[in-house]
């Protein structure tokens, strides 16, 4: 009597516990996938190219046409912006997995600050779709402040990505790695 009842309750508890555990595991795997897709390194290069085109367009900048280029054992997609060879967007990748996004802006002067901000802001937003506008602004502002002391600056953000600016002469490169 009592032993059988105890045994049944014991079995029920084990079943309930194992069912709950399975459901919890399922929930976790569903949650982790989108979390990673937000980061540019976890989507393929074509998806990233499309994402960049969309985000830049939202900020009034047209990606002309991504072309595939192989040089020095490295593969990358590149495109001019707004029909200007002075602004070029590049996606570095290895076996179709993006490794870096670079935006090169030539003839940098005060007149181009708005364009530089829009391009940099767009690259930040496309690198991690979970970043808010405020966070993207903050990353860009932090890099600009650091430029007072150096021509090559970078910030590692909480998402693990490294954002930076390199200036050589009249040319500026904004990158995320």
What confidence score (pLDDT) does residue 35 get?
A: 45
Measure Cα distances from 139 to 4, 159, 163 in Å: 65, 12, 8
Measure Cα distances from 3 to 9, 12, 15, 159 in Å: 10, 14, 18, 55
Spatial distance between the Cα atoms of 14 and 86, rounded to a whole number of angstroms? 66
Instruction: Report if pTM > 0.85.
Output: no
User: Do residues 163 and 139 make contact, with C-beta atoms less than 8 angstroms apart?
Assistant: yes
Helical residues (DSSP H) of 38-66, grouped into ranges: 45-58
What confidence score (pLDDT) does residue 161 get?
A: 97
Both tokens of residue 78?
Answer: 């590149």
User: Do residues 101 and 175 make contact, with C-beta atoms less than 8 angstroms apart?
Assistant: yes
Segment-wise mean pLDDT, segments of 10 residues, the chain, 177 residues: 68 60 46 67 94 97 90 82 95 91 93 94 97 96 91 95 95 97
């Amino acid at each position: 009597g009592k032993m059988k009842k105890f045994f049944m309750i014991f079995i029920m508890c084990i079943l309930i516990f194992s069912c709950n555990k399975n459901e919890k595991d399922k929930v976790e795997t569903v949650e982790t996938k989108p979390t990673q897709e937000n980061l540019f390194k976890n989507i393929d290069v074509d998806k990233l190219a499309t994402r960049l085109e969309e985000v830049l367009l939202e900020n009034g900048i047209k990606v002309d046409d991504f072309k595939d280029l192989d040089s020095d054992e490295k593969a990358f997609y590149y495109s001019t912006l707004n029909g200007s060879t002075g602004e070029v967007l590049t996606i570095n990748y290895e076996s179709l997995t993006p490794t870096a996004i670079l935006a090169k802006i030539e003839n940098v002067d005060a007149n181009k600050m708005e364009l530089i901000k829009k391009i940099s802001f767009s690259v930040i937003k496309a690198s991690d779709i979970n970043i808010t506008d405020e966070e993207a602004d903050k990353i860009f502002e932090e890099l600009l402040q650091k430029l007072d002391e150096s021509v090559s600056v970078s910030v590692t953000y909480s998402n693990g990505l490294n954002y930076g600016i390199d200036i050589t002469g009249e040319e500026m490169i904004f990158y995320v790695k």
